Amino acid sequence: MDLTQTSDLWWKTAVIYCLDVETFADGNGDGCGDFVGLTQRIDHLNRLGVTCIWLMPFFPSPDRDDGYDIIDFNNVDPRLGTLGDFVEFIRTAHDRGMRVIADLVVNHTSDKHPWFEEARSSRESPKRDWYVWRDEPPPDAEKGVVFPDKEKSLWTRDDKTGQYYLHRFYKHQPDLNVANPQVRDEIAKTMGFWMELGLSGFRVDAVPFLIETTGQDDAAELPEPHDYLADLRAFLTRRNGEAILLGEVNLPYPDTMRFFGSSDGVGDELTMCFDFIGMQRMYLSLARRDAEPLASALQERPEPPRDAHWATFVRNHDELTLDKLSESQRQEVFDAFGPDPDMQLFGRGLRRRVPPMLGGDMQRIRQVYSLLFSLPGTPVLFYGEEIGMGENLEVEGRLAVRTPMQWTSGPDAGFSTADPSSFPGPLVEGDFGPQNVNVEGERRDPDSLLCWMRMLIERYRECPELAWGDYEILDAGHRAVLAHSCRLDGSTILVVHNLCDEPVDATLTLDGATELTELLRDGTVKVGTDGKVQLSLEPYDCRWLRATG
Ligand code: NOJ
């Protein structure tokens, strides 16, 4: 396939990079990251090969859930800059050929949002129905609490009016009532507002909770919840034909599939869904040094509709959730990558980043990212992954992995000229802190993780087979070896990973090729007349090969 043909459905070959403006770069020297700082640092992302920036919430917020608690959907938090700074940033990103998407957090607002303050003021308030109220909590009010360390119920009594309101997350995040047409209008208006300012779509927070209408009195008036998601998508594409919805849906594959929508097999709801299952199985494979869990996830994973795609990731801003593994599998991953209870969160995940989890073993760390960029799906990076940042377990909860970006080796990490005590949170310390891990140093070092990432991204972008092709898991004759091929228009890429710490000789069968050309190193490999390929793999080897002949 000609590469230019892939650009209409740009998200299928995108490299998405998630960052929080607050912790990325400070431009005005007050210690807090801002849009000016981000704009000054944008060429780092361009050089890396990022094609789409995902901004975590940057809206005015009391910041009790790191900005996921919003008090004004149509503004910029003054700590991070102004709407003008936002527009300058967008313009600069576009100038570098990068698109920008942002978190759409409309399942709930902050309890300090003027809508909620008005709604809770009296049962007769015109905004009362914008949230979800009941006289008594339902019998299963404790079921499905997302943050069990802080909340015991999904319903909290509001003393002034004596009713209970629904909150899927913290009690300071009351759920909006999307069954109310005025609320739906406001949500659309917000999407329209940011698209008008240049966004190319949204990462939609907590989608299953957003569209569910349980407990909402007028739920019957709402069309089928998935129709609402299709409405949102239709609105989005009416305003901007190339805009996307990337949804957070952490459900088993068959349930997640529903969120792509269907209409005539093209997909009319979410453009992309994160592959939470594949991510969790990858960690199980790494822990066991056995390709099977990941291979079977990829085999089970349904094909998304024609224009849709899976979004793949190995780390994000939340805990590394392992909630879809069995208890004993989860324990295996905990034992391997986070045995200390302080590294674990909510009994279901790890609050660590990849390099410390893998004991700083560069071969293994490189391999994780080789998997990310070669397995089918649009790769999504979390800031700092490209240089191998670690976490700071002294910082509370999920914030352990949201420390300031490390630009230089200085005591302020080049994040800001202000004193580090005024930063949004402490820096990482020790082996993975700025002294040892930073952009400036890695740019100059051809053996750095940063240079490895750049090469992976370059190859991934050069090989549309990976994103567009039909993939197949191949038998490599050894349980530690994951091998897959991606075929498109008669062209084939073969990818082989050795997940164990010993050399392995792999034998694969590949039809229709006489020779393979290495893409991550020099060299070629002959294919036998019987289609057999022999590969001597080093410990944790990563091989991408293009078939010829
Ligand atoms: C999911 C986000 O990823 C998480 O960080 C946030 O706390 C909840 N949604 C609530 O918005």
Ligand 1 geometric centre to CA of 463 (Å):
33
Ligand 1 geometric centre to CA of 205 (Å):
7
Atom of ligand 1 nearest to the CA of 65: 7
Tokens for 359? 């004991």
Residue found by looking up tokens 């674990």 in the block:
344
Residue found by looking up tokens 């990563």 in the block:
542
- Assess whether the C-beta atom of 105 lies below 6 angstroms from ligand 1: yes
Q: Please state, as a whole number, how many other Cβ atoms lie within 10 Å of the Cβ of residue 303.
A: 13
CA-CA distance, 497 to 124, in Å (whole number)? 62
SS3 of 304, please? coil
Asked if 339 and 418 count as a contact pair (C-beta separation under 8 A), the reply is: no
SS3 of 397, please? helix
CA-CA distance, 445 to 289, in Å (whole number)? 29
Instruction: Calculate the CA 179 to chain-centre distance.
Output: 28
Asked if 525 and 515 count as a contact pair (C-beta separation under 8 A), the reply is: yes
CA-CA distance, 132 to 125, in Å (whole number)? 13
SS3 of 124, please? coil
User: What's the pTM value of the predicted model, to 2 decimals?
Assistant: 0.97
Cβ neighbors of 136 (< 8 A, separation 6 or more) are 164
The strand pair at 99-104 and 52-55 is best described as parallel
Tokens for 213? 């209408």
Ligand 1 geometric centre to CA of 169 (Å):
8
Cβ neighbors of 392 (< 8 A, separation 6 or more) are 400, 403, 425, 426, 427, 428, 429
Instruction: Calculate the CA 412 to chain-centre distance.
Output: 27
Asked if 320 and 349 count as a contact pair (C-beta separation under 8 A), the reply is: yes
Question: What type of residue is 9?
Answer: L
- Assess whether the C-beta atom of 202 lies below 6 angstroms from ligand 1: no
CA distances from 217 to 129, 214, 224 (A): 9, 8, 15
Tokens for 471? 């993939």
- Assess whether the C-beta atom of 206 lies below 6 angstroms from ligand 1: yes
CA-CA distance, 219 to 198, in Å (whole number)? 34
CA-CA distance, 6 to 271, in Å (whole number)? 15
Q: What is the pLDDT of residue 214?
A: 57
Atom of ligand 1 nearest to the CA of 170: 10
Q: What is the pLDDT of residue 359?
A: 98
CA-CA distance, 11 to 99, in Å (whole number)? 10
- Assess whether the C-beta atom of 169 lies below 6 angstroms from ligand 1: yes
pLDDT in tens, the chain (549 residues): 666 667 889 999 999 999 999 999 999 999 999 999 999 999 999 999 999 999 999 999 999 999 999 999 999 999 999 999 999 999 999 999 999 999 999 999 999 999 999 999 999 999 999 999 999 999 999 998 999 999 999 999 999 999 999 999 999 999 999 999 999 999 999 999 999 999 999 999 999 999 987 555 554 555 688 999 999 999 999 999 999 999 999 999 999 999 999 877 889 999 999 999 999 999 999 999 999 999 999 999 999 999 999 999 999 999 999 999 999 999 999 999 999 999 999 999 999 999 999 999 999 999 999 999 999 999 999 999 999 999 999 999 999 999 999 999 999 999 999 999 999 999 999 999 999 999 999 999 999 999 999 999 999 999 999 999 999 999 999 999 999 999 999 999 999 999 999 999 999 999 889 999 999 999 999 999 999 999 999 999 999 999 987
- Assess whether the C-beta atom of 68 lies below 6 angstroms from ligand 1: yes
Candidate of 18, 170, 248, 318 to mutate for ligand 1, largest count of ligand atoms within 8 Å of Cβ: 318
Asked if 206 and 248 count as a contact pair (C-beta separation under 8 A), the reply is: yes
Tokens for 517? 């050309």
* Nearest residue (CA) to ligand 1, atom 3: 318
Ligand 1 geometric centre to CA of 385 (Å):
20
CA-CA distance, 133 to 156, in Å (whole number)? 10
Tokens for 449? 């993780």
CA-CA distance, 488 to 429, in Å (whole number)? 46
Among 193, 239, 235, CA closest to 87: 193
Question: What type of residue is 71?
Answer: I
Provide the terminal-to-terminal Cα distance of the chain, rounded to the nearest Å: 17
- Assess whether the C-beta atom of 65 lies below 6 angstroms from ligand 1: yes
Question: Torsion angle of alpha carbons 512, 513, 519, 520, nearest 10°?
Answer: 100
Ligand 1 geometric centre to CA of 357 (Å):
23
Asked if 525 and 549 count as a contact pair (C-beta separation under 8 A), the reply is: no
Asked if 386 and 453 count as a contact pair (C-beta separation under 8 A), the reply is: yes
Cβ neighbors of 92 (< 8 A, separation 6 or more) are 39, 42
Tokens for 105? 């957090």
Question: Torsion angle of alpha carbons 428, 434, 439, 444, nearest 10°?
Answer: -150
For 475-528, strand residue ranges (E) read: 481-488, 491-498, 504-509, 515-518, 524-526
